[in-house]
Structure 1
Amino acid sequence: MAGIINYIKESFGELKNNVTWPTMAEAQSLTVLVAVFSIVFSLAIWGVDTVFSKVVGFYFKFING
């Protein structure tokens, strides 16, 4: 049990002293970048899914006559 507590204390010390945190402006710009990329990526997946769905639908319509 003491090992776990020591590990948690060391982890917090590491986060406090050795991690370089971004400034608020950097964090905001990175957040916007991630949001935009997520929207673009989701639209791309939606487009591929739509095209694939139509191709499969046409294929089965063609097969069934």
Structure 2
Amino acid sequence: MAKIITYLEETVDELLNKVSWPTWKELQTSAIIVLVASVIIALLVWIMDFTFGIRDGEGVIWQGILGFYYDFVTPEFLNP
């Protein structure tokens, strides 16, 4: 039991005295960078999804570049 108490005391000491926490300004800057990067990645994924084709539950909204290619290459009897 003494080892567990020692472990918890050392953990608290490390978190309070030995860890270098970021300042409020550094935290805000990092959060903004993460937000901007997330928006950019989301836009890139959306652009790729739109380019290569978007499908809804009932049919094709936009078949994209690959859809046009597959329509051109696929034999007529395989196309529904």
Task: Give me the TM-score of the superposition, normalised by structure 2.
Answer: 0.60
Structure (1/2) with the larger helix percentage: 1
- Give, in angstroms, the shift of residue 5 of structure 1: 5.5
Matches within 5 A, 1:43-62: 43-53=43-53, 54-62=64-72
- Which has a greater percent of strand? 2
Q: How many residues align?
A: 65
Unaligned 5+ segments in structure 1 are: none
SS of the residue corresponding to residue 33 of structure 1 reads helix
The aligned amino acid for 1:44 is L
Distance in 2 (alpha carbons) for counterparts of 1:4 and 1:55: 61
Larger of the two Rg values belongs to structure: 2
Task: State the alpha-carbon separation in 1 of the partners of residues 18 and 4 from structure 2.
Answer: 20
Identity %: 42
Q: CA RMSD in A?
A: 2.4
The equivalent residue for 2:16 is 16
Structure 1 runs of 4+ off > 6 angstroms?
none
